[in-house]
Amino acid sequence: MSARARIGVLALQGAFAAHASALQRLGATTVEVRVAADLEQCDALVLPGGESTTMSQLLETSQLFDPLAERIATGTPVFGTCAGMILLSKGIADGRPDQRSFAVLDIDVQRNGFGRQRDSFETEIDVLGLDRAFHAVFIRAPRISRIGSQIETLATHGGEPVLVRSKTIMAASFHPELADDDRVHQLFLTMVQG
């Protein structure tokens, strides 16, 4: 893989610009992904936060769902945050009936699962491999209700996993792109570049 990884950031909706900025600060080239042809240039992908129901619809209308599913299924590294985590999960509770996911990460999530009174909150979390705490911003975040035995937990909050990883997939319940701290994106780039 080239020294300068090209990371596609799904740019249909949501918090894609801040992800692109973080990745660029780390030396990666970013590509805004809106149509299937954009995928051809990408070594890896980021699915941002936003609204997973809307993203699911837009993925269908832009005819991006199937090509993206194919890229992820064939091992292109992918990092999903918040709504992006929902899009990767096997099971979704409290979703819309017509909401689709790529179902490639062996976890189940509950949308907005941290409860109304704590819809949004910020806290420090310890992340495996990082030497000091990471400031995690949770915004109507998904809660992981089941985690498969092959999935590695990289960080927890209140004893529950909030940053997880499989071989080629990483997913965060929170928004690392809002932290003013690029270390979680760096972890992903390490996965991409080896």
What 3-state DSSP class applies to 27?
A: coil
Of the residues 19, 42, 157, 175, only one is catalytic, namely 175
Binding-residue pattern over the window 125 to 144 for ligand GLN, x denoting contact by CB under 6 A: --------------xx----
Of 21 and 112, CB closest to ligand GLN: 112
Is residue 70 among the annotated active site residues? no
Of 39 and 139, CB closest to ligand GLN: 139
Between the CA of residue 100 and those of 7, 13, 82, 126, what are the distances in Å? 23, 16, 15, 31
Task: Write phi, then psi, for 193 (nearest 5 degrees).
Answer: -95, -10
Cβ atoms within 10 A of the Cβ of 41, count? 12
- Interatomic CA distance for residues 77 and 139, integer angstroms: 24
Structure tokens that stand for 184 in this block: 């979680």
CB of 95 to ligand GLN, least distance (A): 7
> Applying CB under 6 A, which of residues 13, 62, 112, 123 lies at the interface with ligand GLN?
112
- Interatomic CA distance for residues 45 and 47, integer angstroms: 7
Is residue 82 among the annotated active site residues? yes
8-state DSSP, 63: T
Of the residues 19, 157, 177, 185, only one is catalytic, namely 177
Is residue 177 among the annotated active site residues? yes
Q: Which stretch binds ligand GLN (CB under 6 A): 33-41, 48-56, 146-154, 185-193?
A: 48-56
Q: Is 165 in the site for ligand GLN (CB under 6 A)?
A: no
Q: Which stretch binds ligand GLN (CB under 6 A): 33-41, 47-55, 158-166, 177-185?
A: 47-55
Cβ pair 173, 167 in contact under 8 A: no
Cβ pair 163, 172 in contact under 8 A: yes
Q: Is 99 in the site for ligand GLN (CB under 6 A)?
A: no
8-state DSSP, 151: P
CB of 120 to ligand GLN, least distance (A): 8
